[in-house]
Structure 1
Amino acid sequence: MMRHIFYSLLVASVLLSGCAAKNTKNTAPAAGSNAAKAATLYKEGNYSEALAYYEKAIDEDETPQLRNGAGATLLEGGNPAEALKEFDRALTFMPASADLHANKGAAHLLLGQEEVAEESFDKALAYSPNNASALNGKALLLLGKKDYESALALLLKAEKAAPDNKAIMFNKAIAFEATGLLEDADKALTLLLEETPKDAAVRNARGIVRMKRKKYDLAKSDFTFAVALSPTTGLYYYNKAILQQRLMEYEDAVKNYTRSIAYDPTNPAALVNRGETYVMLGKKEKGCKDLKKACDAGLCEKFESYKASRLCLED
């Protein structure tokens, strides 16, 4: 159960970060123009200002490339609903653009509209069978459906089309892990870290892989590094605590589960695991309290088991 939960959370993070919108090809805008300024700000990650300049450029001369740029900016800025409108508008100019259909699929995916997202990715692939963004998007959907081998096949194909795309490299590693190819996953994540050594998500992912490979010291180092890089991400404390619990470092595990709960109170699995760790420490009352809280949040299996064995009682 524990392995399933932290893997599911990792996939969720991949679904949110692995579908970067792609700008359609366009002639280079004149230096100093609103379009050029928008593109520069987008690359710098200044999405609110980039959007303002895209809007100015569209007012001057609406093109599908500018609409797509505005959509990509909205998508990266966390507004997939508005991004979808921009991609739809761009598609009225270029209905056969594989990149636009792929970007539209990414927006639907971030909105949780998986069936519609798949339709958009399929349209993109119908126009361009090797479109890396669409292949990546389809693979993410398959990862969510636990069709790991099919996802891996698509990601390997996507990587051939876009060998420098870091999101695809990351997702490929996740697919390797899911299919049990742990050494391949470790190697892929290590190669990615050579290019992005301060990427906390990649550090965390490699920590999970190394924990499964029973390389516990290396896993602990990765989790510690991930926490240092992103000290307010509850998932990283959670995974480190799982490792500490496995190594019977119960006091340290409790501390990191507590940090995880503080930064991510929506994860009842942390309450379950902290509750069980408290019981291992002989603190049954605290443990049962956590298990009851987790059950109130919808995760009841452990609490019911403890009640059945009379280790926990109803209030």
Structure 2
Amino acid sequence: MKNLALCVLCLALLSGCSMSSLPFLGDDDGTQPPATAKKSPDRKPTFGVSPEAQTYLSQAMEYWTPSGECTNPERAAALLDKAVDADPLDPAPYLMRSLALSDLGYFNEAFDDATRAIRLSPTAEAYATRGLVCLKQHQPEGAQRDFAYAEKINPNEPLIYVYRSAGAFLDGRNGDACADLKKACDLGHCRPWNTATENKLCR
């Protein structure tokens, strides 16, 4: 029963829309944090300036549940395609589409979208999202690298610890996973911690 609960929690944490080999070497693929990342204050991606892009983003958000599940990633991705076309300089639709595409199994495309978002706005959330995509395609080293970048940019972003905990649970490092979930809860994101404690995975 405990293993079942663990799988359920990991799947919940790794689900897309909560919102193969990968090239992790070199600056050109976006894996190295830009020098400006440490100097600039972290900011979450926002809706695009374009009213058209904002409309598509709002429509895509309707497919997100409060728990972070995407009920129709294919439809969400289609709307986000239109948002990107309407405002290609806004990182938000790239991040959202990255998670939708990873739900659909298009991991290389999801990674590329997260990288585009990082290049446009190297926030902790952007790096954490790409780390999540890496976890979903069984690339733990790349995931840990992105989580480390994210934590360096803004250690108060709770998504870092939520996403990182999923990888720790899958590795059997329950203590590390619970510590991350507790930290995320202390930072204001308590749903994963509550799920873990309800399933007696953490206490």
Q: What is the Cα-based RMSD across aligned positions, in Å?
A: 2.8
Paired AA for residue 26 in structure 1 = T
**Equivalents in 1 of 2:5, 2:105: separation in Å?**
19
Q: How does 1:39-50 map to 2 (within 5 A)?
A: 39-42=61-64, 45-50=71-76
| Alignment partner, residue 40 of structure 2 | none
| Alignment partner, residue 168 of structure 2 | 142
Paired AA for residue 108 in structure 1 = C
Report the secondary structure of 1:18's partner residue. Answer: helix
| Alignment partner, residue 200 of structure 1 | none
Larger radius of gyration: 1
Between Structure 1 and Structure 2, which shows a larger proportion of helix residues? 1
**Equivalents in 1 of 2:133, 2:120: separation in Å?**
19
Which structure has more relative contact order (CA 8 Å, sep 6+)? It is: 2
Shift of 1:98: 0.4
| Alignment partner, residue 169 of structure 1 | 194
TM normalised by structure 2 equals: 0.70
Shift of 1:134: 1.0
Shift of 1:137: 2.2
| Alignment partner, residue 25 of structure 1 | 45
**Equivalents in 1 of 2:106, 2:198: separation in Å?**
27
TM normalised by structure 1 equals: 0.47
Matched, 1:75 2:102: yes
| Alignment partner, residue 88 of structure 1 | 115
| Alignment partner, residue 184 of structure 2 | 158
Paired AA for residue 33 in structure 1 = T
**Unpaired stretches in structure 1, ≥5 consecutive residues:** 1-5, 182-315
Report the secondary structure of 1:33's partner residue. Answer: helix
| Alignment partner, residue 149 of structure 2 | 123
Shift of 1:173: 4.4
Shift of 1:111: 0.8
Residues 1:37 and 1:151: Cα distance change in structure 2 (over 3 Å): closer
Paired AA for residue 140 in structure 2 = E
User: Is contact 1:35-1:54 (8 Å) kept?
Assistant: yes
Q: How does 1:179-194 map to 2 (within 5 A)?
A: 181=203
Residues 1:60 and 1:27: Cα distance change in structure 2 (over 3 Å): closer
Residues 1:159 and 1:19: Cα distance change in structure 2 (over 3 Å): farther
Matched, 1:12 2:7: yes
**Equivalents in 1 of 2:185, 2:116: separation in Å?**
29
**Equivalents in 1 of 2:174, 2:138: separation in Å?**
20
Shift of 1:110: 1.0
Q: For residues 208-247 of structure 1, what are the alpha-carbon distances to aligned partners after superposition, in whole Å with 9 as ceiling and x for unaligned?
A: xxxxxxxxxxxxxxxxxxxxxxxxxxxxxxxxxxxxxxxx
Shift of 1:172: 4.5
Q: For residues 268-312 of structure 1, what are the alpha-carbon distances to aligned partners after superposition, in whole Å with 9 as ceiling and x for unaligned?
A: xxxxxxxxxxxxxxxxxxxxxxxxxxxxxxxxxxxxxxxxxxxxx
Q: How does 1:275-314 map to 2 (within 5 A)?
A: none
Paired AA for residue 192 in structure 2 = A
User: Is contact 1:22-1:103 (8 Å) kept?
Assistant: no
User: Is contact 1:22-1:133 (8 Å) kept?
Assistant: no
